[in-house]
Amino acid sequence: MRHAIHTAFKSAAERVLPVRSESGFKSHGVLTPEEFLKSGDYLVRTCSTWSWEAGDPSKAKEWLPKDKQYLVTRKVPSNKRASEVENYGLRAEANTMLDDAEEDGWVAPPATRDDHEAEEIPSTESKPATATNQASSAIAPDDRDDQEEDIPDINDLELEDDEAEDEAVLPQALANTNQGAAHDHIMHTRTYDLMITYDKFYQVPRFWLVGYDENRQPLKPNQILEDVSEEHARKTITVDPFPNTGVQAASIHPCKHASVMKKLGSMAEASGKPFQVDRYLVLFLKFIASVIPTIEYDYTMSAGW
């Protein structure tokens, strides 16, 4: 029910909200569609695994070119489950940024049952709703905050009983160590198709993923959670139709992306690396790497960050 209410609210809001035209990637962590395209072009140019896609023409967003509706990289390997990774931190220099940010309180600690409804990425900055400076006055800020509090998570989905049973026999990333197993040294590798869209409501990129087992069969929602860090697994992941194709996909909800990107951009500049709009998505992907630490898409070191 919460999922349906929030989806309906967001859809209605996007119909009346104007498209952002004023740059705010440094001051608010948000992007205009033009800045999203510029950053996407830079990502595609420097990281050949990423490309632009058009999707279903009937679902095209008018504020983006028809041939550049979203970014995609396909068949990205995942050889381990998140629980097998000792450190969920970002790679390389991003590890330092994440540690510093945790001290400032914008990365949530592992959730308990009592704080399940807490915000997924507490921010020391203003809430992302403040970034929508050009939003229609028909939507009050307090109403938007209330909606963000009601964002559904994957744990609220009604799954079939056999899905829970299937968890005991999920494909394992490491060699099967069961005694007497017929294929002791076969590594079962999951793969993911990863997509990045522009979210008009939150004015930030939104990250989507569709997973497959070693037989190229779609992963169930609970299986995808095994590849998400504990801090985010049941707090920021939702399942929605992918906006440009209608295929069901898991998504990292973008309600806190603006404050996170503002914080990361400030930290990058403090370390002597200018936060430029064309490199926005490169930094964004390094943040996302902390959420899905075993999905090996992060080929962005060559992009100059």
By the 8 A CB rule, do 109 and 122 touch? Answer: no
47 is catalytic: no
For residue 209 the two structure tokens come to 């993923």
DSSP label of 118: S
79 lies in a domain? yes
167 lies in a domain? no
161 lies in a domain? no
Give the CA distances from residue 91 to residues 31, 130, 178, 291, in Å, rounded to whole numbers and listed in that order: 24, 30, 32, 12
The number of domains in the chain is: 1
10 lies in a domain? yes
237 lies in a domain? yes
pLDDT tens digits in sequence order for the chain, 305 residues long: 665 676 677 777 777 788 999 999 999 999 999 999 999 999 999 999 999 999 999 999 999 999 999 999 999 999 888 877 745 444 444 454 455 444 444 443 333 334 433 334 333 343 344 333 443 334 443 444 444 444 444 444 333 333 333 333 333 333 333 444 444 455 578 999 999 999 999 999 999 999 999 999 999 988 999 999 887 777 788 888 999 999 999 999 898 999 999 999 999 999 998 899 999 999 999 999 989 988 988 655 455 55
* 3-class DSSP assignment, residue 234: coil
For residue 171 the two structure tokens come to 């494909």
271 lies in a domain? yes
Rounded to two decimals, the pTM is 0.68
DSSP label of 64: S
| Element containing residue 287 per DSSP (H, E) | helix 280-291
Catalytically annotated residue among 204, 255, 264, 285: 255
Give the domain range for residue 77: 2-18+30-152+189-303
162 lies in a domain? no
166 lies in a domain? no
State the burial class of residue 29 (Cβ atoms within 10 Å of its Cβ: 0-12, 13-18, 19+). Answer: buried
For residue 138 the two structure tokens come to 């028909």
CA pair distance 292, 285, nearest whole angstrom: 10
